[in-house]
Amino acid sequence: PQFAWTKLLSSAMRGARSGETMRIKRPARCLLVVLAALRSFPCSAFVAKSLAPRPAPARAKRFGPLRSAEADLTPEELESLNPKRPKIQWYPGHIAKAERQLAEYMKCVDIVIEVRDARIPFSTTHPMVSTWIGSKPHIVVFNRKDCAPAVAVTHWRKHFVDLAKQSESEGSPGKPIFAFNAKAQEGVHEIKKACLQLGAHVNEKREKKGLLPRAIRIAVIGFPNVGKSALINRLLGRKMARSADTPGVTRQLTWIRLGKGRDGADIELLDSPGIIPAKQVDQRAAEALAMCNDIGVASYESEHVASALIERIVDVAKASDGTYVDVEQVVRRCDGFDPFLFVEEGGTAEEYLHKLADRRHRGDLYGAANRLMNDFRKGMFGPATLEVPPWMREQKQEQQAREEAVDTVQLKSSRRSGKADSLDLKTFGVGNFEGW
């Protein structure tokens, strides 16, 4: 074939030099010669590689092959089901630009409203806010309070109020904290009243200087998709700022004038894009942002975040004694497949997600992960908060330590008196042996 290919090519070149049109007497035979020659051509390796069956996607490699719910997993397989999750990083260009501009806008702002997500109030706290604000009045708003248990909102407000009092004693100004529900417009009047009270000093100073009063300038800042634009629309009483349940909708800083209301005061609101740290150092906080859809979808994989969500729900339910998470509603939404019992018995979150995919989605891991996260985001699990104040964990650890100490003392005293058989075995977590 190589000889035939060379002969055909040389005859074509001779025809091109002489200006004559090459006529092929047997086109079918020549086509077969060309195809046979291509097999020995260097590009044949590339063609073969492109036609070869593609390997499994990277997601399947990280999580391992899909397994049925009844399969017995070896220790090696269980270890492969709990891989090290990739880091979540998201810092688009419009956020970097807005962060640079925000430092300049802060110079002409009178009050700052920081909006946080009531489901993850700690993870939606930007570490640079105190640096940007300085000594300006600072208001904190917990949005989506309808998506979080009332007891959790109360506990987190107490935590941040205590921190504000501590900073106030050290010379930093305190900050009022409000809970807000954009859907039912709960807390709008209180927030507006606080803004007018904190901004009254602006025109008082201007009046002393003989200047005319001006509008109170308020900047609304926070992480992406925490409800900044929704709060502005509620304060205005009409839809002026573009709002959607997706991070990255607001892409530039915009001034919106509220105008004179019944109180005769003017307010100008600065709507800003969601601003997050340039580098997500705390990956637990980054995972929490992904669970609540407060970060770009391109920065994470649904399977990893869904597994982290299962771990977080189980951990928070233990730490809060079930007050921060509706355990029964979660089990009911998972078709009776209890994640709390599954993890208690030694299973991993990744293994649970695989089995859930086999039960409900015919092994579709991506579909199972997306449905699990959408159920949480839409409130199908009931009100839930994914973070516990530090003081609550400390109290829980102290309580466990006291219970263990009491159990130890009872065990020692029973051994000394020789009455160990009469002890209630439930004290040691053994269970009820009635009827054995």
pLDDT tens per residue across span 331-380: 999 988 999 999 888 899 999 999 999 998 888 999 999 999 999 999 99
Q: How far is the C-alpha of 427 from the C-alpha of 241, rounded, in Å? A: 58
Give the range of the structural domain holding residue 226, as residue numbers without chain letter.
92-271
Q: Residue 30's pLDDT is what?
A: 62
Same domain, 232 and 315: no
Choose one of 334, 349, 378: the last residue of a domain: 378
Average pLDDT value for residue range 266-274? 86
Does the pLDDT of residue 194 top 50, yes or no?
yes
Specify the higher pLDDT residue, 300 or 253: 300
Same domain, 266 and 346: no
Does the pLDDT of residue 27 top 80, yes or no?
no
Does the pLDDT of residue 434 top 80, yes or no?
no
160 is a domain residue: yes
Same domain, 150 and 255: yes
Same domain, 265 and 322: no
Same domain, 120 and 263: yes
Average pLDDT value for residue range 274-291? 88
Same domain, 224 and 310: no
Does the pLDDT of residue 49 top 70, yes or no?
no
Percentage of the chain beyond pLDDT 90 is 31
Average pLDDT value for residue range 1-18? 54
Q: Residue 278's pLDDT is what?
A: 82
203 is a domain residue: yes
132 band by pLDDT with thresholds 50, 70 and 90: confident
Q: What is the CATH number of the domain that holds 192?
A: 3.40.50.300
58 is a domain residue: no
362 is a domain residue: yes
Report the domain count for the chain.
2
397 is a domain residue: no
Average pLDDT value for residue range 151-158? 93
Query: What does pLDDT average to over the chain?
Result: 77
Q: How far is the C-alpha of 350 from the C-alpha of 347, rounded, in Å? A: 8
Q: Write the DSSP assignment of 108-166 as a string of letters.
A: G-SEEEEEEETTSTTTT--TTHHHHHTTS-EEEEEE-GGGS-HHHHHHHHHHHHHHHHH
114 is a domain residue: yes
Query: Which residues touch 256 (CB under 8 Å, ≥6 apart)?
Result: 232, 236, 240, 241, 268, 269, 270, 271
Does the pLDDT of residue 395 top 50, yes or no?
yes
Same domain, 129 and 217: yes
Radius of gyration in angstroms for the set of CA atoms belonging to the chain, rounded to a whole number: 32
Same domain, 142 and 238: yes
146-150, 246-250, 394-398, range with greatest mean pLDDT: 146-150
387 band by pLDDT with thresholds 50, 70 and 90: very high
Q: How do 267-271 and 177-179 pair as beta strands? A: unpaired
Does the pLDDT of residue 404 top 90, yes or no?
no
Same domain, 252 and 318: no
Same domain, 305 and 262: no
213 is a domain residue: yes
Average pLDDT value for residue range 370-395? 92
Choose one of 354, 378, 402: the last residue of a domain: 378
436 band by pLDDT with thresholds 50, 70 and 90: very low
Same domain, 214 and 324: no
Return the SS3 of 269.
Answer: strand
Q: Residue 316's pLDDT is what?
A: 93
15 band by pLDDT with thresholds 50, 70 and 90: low
407 band by pLDDT with thresholds 50, 70 and 90: confident
Q: Residue 397's pLDDT is what?
A: 82
150 is a domain residue: yes
Candidate from 160-164, 309-313, 396-400 with smallest mean pLDDT: 396-400
Same domain, 267 and 308: no
